[in-house]
A and B are shown apart, each in its own frame.
Chain A
């Protein structure tokens, strides 16, 4: 016998799960990602490097900038190009805009309805309009940053190897500085709301993140030793899912907000760090649902950091000069923290600048195994005590905590 969740709702993309019951007990859970494959690695093969970040952006709308930035970093490393600090700061600002947009979407529109007992945020808005509005305001601000840095809200084309198509104006940077400071009070309230959520899901035993807060040149795990993804992470295909699963030294692990705040708390901005300290004990329990609280803390971090970066650039002035990029044969990996966790873009490029090999691993694929384990533990905990509808609701909440991005997860190349 089995219970089917035919489609997870309030998540990005199409996926479901099968809970297999034998002799009145939960035997196994399979997370089925049935969103069709999109074959991005085949798509980029043979393509000129300049066009690739725009193509990769299409992997996912919620985190298109993470994909274009990871792609650009991989390409620049392959060519041995180093860009000046302002360009890196602007990229970081773009990634922050994406964090703000994506975390706000997830917390206010997708998870909050569970906490307040509604089917969606639109229905929730009639009673809790102020919460929904605060969320939408933060989200719109995140999108504003994405538009300024990326060129448009979704699938911008402005992030290029060597720099940008267009640089932000003084007015745009001033607006970012001013608005981010003003929105921090909303984000602080979100921390309060999500701190009240009862923990659920499996306990993550291992965390992985990039070595800097929003991007890096290596990965780190709990022991803080840096490594490249292919050294310790292995992927395998499954017969029931278009997304693969990964293991770190044969173990199930987690990427995302919770791993980031736990592994890199010292890099947080002042207020975010204080909030982290306040909830540290709770967070260190490791339940995957605590990812929601960690995301709320990261909203505060994102807003503080956006204002810091805007201020720094305004003080120094943005030169707005691209670095010239000369194609040469090479190999490079871009590691970025997408809102949902570590994202890897790995390329080999030929001397003409065409892509000869590409591999992409997305956060949802990294988290796939832990998601399955969480559903298994939750199903075991509640099967027999809850009716099927409530059980499915509970299980969906567990999936939501990962903030999975299914579109991202379905185009992985064989290693």
Chain B
């Protein structure tokens, strides 16, 4: 049996919860793994040595950072799971220094709980696998865990959402309805779920590595009449402004 730990840093809880949403597939996973830490689901704790550590969320406090380092130092294989962990997600995109933000929200610059500016875990430790998505597609984590259990290197995705949109034969709403859609510059893997609802891709899987053309997308949206500030914010919502143009 492989030893599995799920560590949740600061986030919405969705990426940890999504593991429970595997339902019967979770029981398949449990044929290979024994859960040693998963505080949302279990009071059981024993994480001195793990084969696989899944970490969700952003590093937003000193405590998060210590927990992350613990997970890294005690596991063979570390998976950064979800856009918080891989790109920083929405809390990572909030601009300003931590003390200014604390003052705006709590009315004091004091920081007794040691909050940090939210950053993805990939900025602090080396990860073996990064799986974005807010939340990720649960079949992806299922595949990755099963692959690891069987000693197979999990595949990595590298195509934009547009491909999945075309495969599903959805009408392009960016072109046809002039609705802002981040599909062309967002990493695929969600089966174009937003476009299924007739709504533009909001970019929750983070930017497509390498081939993205944010400058092109920026120009298209500008031509459609969206103002620069609007586009800038839309681009960086899930990815700390990493998309430049």
Please give the residue numbers on chain A whose beta carbons come within 8 Å of chain B beta carbons, in ascending order: 7-14, 32, 34-43, 46-48, 51, 54-55, 58-62, 64, 105, 109-110, 113, 119-123, 136, 140, 143, 151-158, 160, 164-166, 237, 239-242, 244, 393, 396, 405, 407, 410-414
Indicate whether A120 sits within 8 Å of B44 (C-beta atoms), given known contacts A152-B193, A414-B106.
yes
Partner of A411, one of B41, B58, B105, B134: B105
A36 pairs with B43, CB closer than 8 A:
no
Residue on B nearest A42 in the bound complex, by CB: B94
Q: Bound complex: CA of A165 vs CA of B15, how far in Å?
A: 24
Question: Quick one: closest B residue to A125, CB to CB?
Answer: B27
Are A38's CB and B113's CB within 8 A? no
B91: contacting residue among A39, A109, A413, CB under 8 A: A39
- A155 and B14: CB pair below 8 A? yes
Q: Is the interface of B mostly helix, strand, loop or mixed?
A: mixed
**With a CB–CB cut-off of 8 A, which chain A residues contact B149?**
none
B40 (CB) vs chain A CBs: closest residue = A12
**Candidates B61, B104, B107, B134; contact of A58 at CB < 8 Å:** B134
Whether, in the assembled complex, B239 has its beta carbon less than 8 Å from a beta carbon of chain A, the answer is no
Q: Which residues of A contact B35 (CB under 8 A)?
A: 120, 122
Contact call B102/A37, Cβ cutoff below 8 A: yes
Q: Are A239 and B110 in contact (CB under 8 A)?
A: yes
Contact A38 B115 (CB under 8 A): no
Bound-state CA distance A43–B92 (Å) is 10
Known: A34-B63, A119-B43. A61 touches B113 (CB 8 A): no
| Given A59-B12, A165-B198; A36-B115 close (CB under 8 Å) | yes
Q: Are B90 and A10 in touch, CB under 8 angstroms?
A: no
Binds A, one of B124-132, B161-169, B210-218, B230-238: B230-238
Q: Which of B85-135 contact A (CB under 8 A)?
A: 89-91, 93-94, 96, 101-102, 104-108, 110, 112-113, 115-116, 118, 134-135
- On chain B, the residues within 8 Å of A35 by CB distance are 10
For A244, the chain B residues whose CB sits under 8 A away are 106
- Cα A405 to Cα B196 in complex, Å, equals 30
A123 neighbours in B (Cβ, 8 Å): 42, 44
Complex Cα spacing A34 to B116, Å: 12
8 Å CB interface, B176-214 against A = 193-194, 196-199, 202, 204
Closest chain-A Cβ to B76's Cβ sits at a distance in Å of 22
Which chain B residues lie closer than 8 Å to A140 at the CB level? Answer: 23
The answer to whether B2 has its CB under 8 Å from any CB of chain A is: no
Given contacts A34-B113, A37-B60, contact A10 B13 (CB under 8 A): no
In angstroms, Cα B233 to Cα A161, docked, is 20
13 A-B pairs, CB-CB below 8 angstroms?
A13-B8, A14-B9, A36-B61, A41-B104, A58-B134, A61-B17, A120-B42, A120-B44, A140-B23, A151-B194, A155-B204, A244-B106, A407-B11
Once the chains bind, are B61 and A34 in contact (CB under 8 Å)? yes
A46 to B113, CA, bound (A): 28
By a CB distance below 8 angstroms, the chain B residues around A48 are 230
Q: Is B39 part of the binding interface, using a Cβ–Cβ cutoff of 8 Å?
A: yes
The answer to whether residues A36 and B58 also contact, given A58-B90, A155-B135, A414-B105 and a CB cut-off of 8 A, is yes
- CA A60 – CA B12 in complex, angstroms? 4
Contact partner, B118, options A34, A36, A413, Cβ 8 Å: A36
Given B20, B44, B93, B197, which contacts A105 in the complex, CB threshold below 8 Å? Answer: B20
Which residues on the A side are within 8 Å of B194 (C-beta)? 151, 157
**If the complex has contacts A43-B90, A143-B21, A237-B107, are A12 and B42 also in contact, measured as CB distance less than 8 A?**
no
> What's the least CB distance linking A128 to chain B, in Å?
15
Residues on A with C-beta less than 8 A from B108 are 237
- Of all chain B residues, the one with the shortest Cβ separation from A393 is B43
Flag if A10 contacts B196 (CB, 8 Å): no
Q: Are B20 and A43 in contact (CB under 8 A)?
A: no
User: Would B197 and A158 count as touching, CB distance under 8 A?
Assistant: yes
Question: Are A10 and B101 within 8 A (Cβ)?
Answer: no
A41–B110 alpha-carbon span in the complex (Å):
19
Asked whether B204 lies within 8 Å of A9 as measured between CB atoms, the reply is: no
Residues of A contacting B60 in the complex (Cβ-Cβ under 8 angstroms): 36-38
Contact call A154/B199, Cβ cutoff below 8 A: no
Bound: A221/B108 CA distance, A: 31
| Other A-B pairs beyond A46-B229, A123-B44, 6, CB < 8 Å | A34-B113, A37-B106, A61-B15, A123-B42, A151-B194, A410-B10
Task: Indicate if the CB atoms of A55 and B135 lie closer than 8 Å.
Answer: no
Q: What residues of chain A lie closer than 8 Å to B58, measured between beta carbons?
A: 36
**Contact among A110, A153, A157 with B199 in the assembled complex (CB-CB below 8 Å):** A157
Bound CA–CA A12/B44 (angstroms): 15
Contacts of B15 in A (CB 8 A): 61
Q: Chain B's nearest CB lies how many Å from the CB of A404?
A: 11
Q: How far is the CB of A107 from chain B (nearest CB, A)?
A: 14
Q: Given A151-B194, A160-B199, A165-B199, verify A136-B105 contact (CB < 8 Å).
A: no
| Chain A: CB-nearest residue to B137 | A152
Are A157 and B202 in contact (CB-based, < 8 A)? yes
Cβ of A410: which chain B residues have Cβ within 8 Å of it? Answer: 10
CB pair A413 B105 closer than 8 Å: yes
Any A CB within 8 A of the CB of B18: yes
- Which residue of the partner chain A has the closest CB to B198? A165
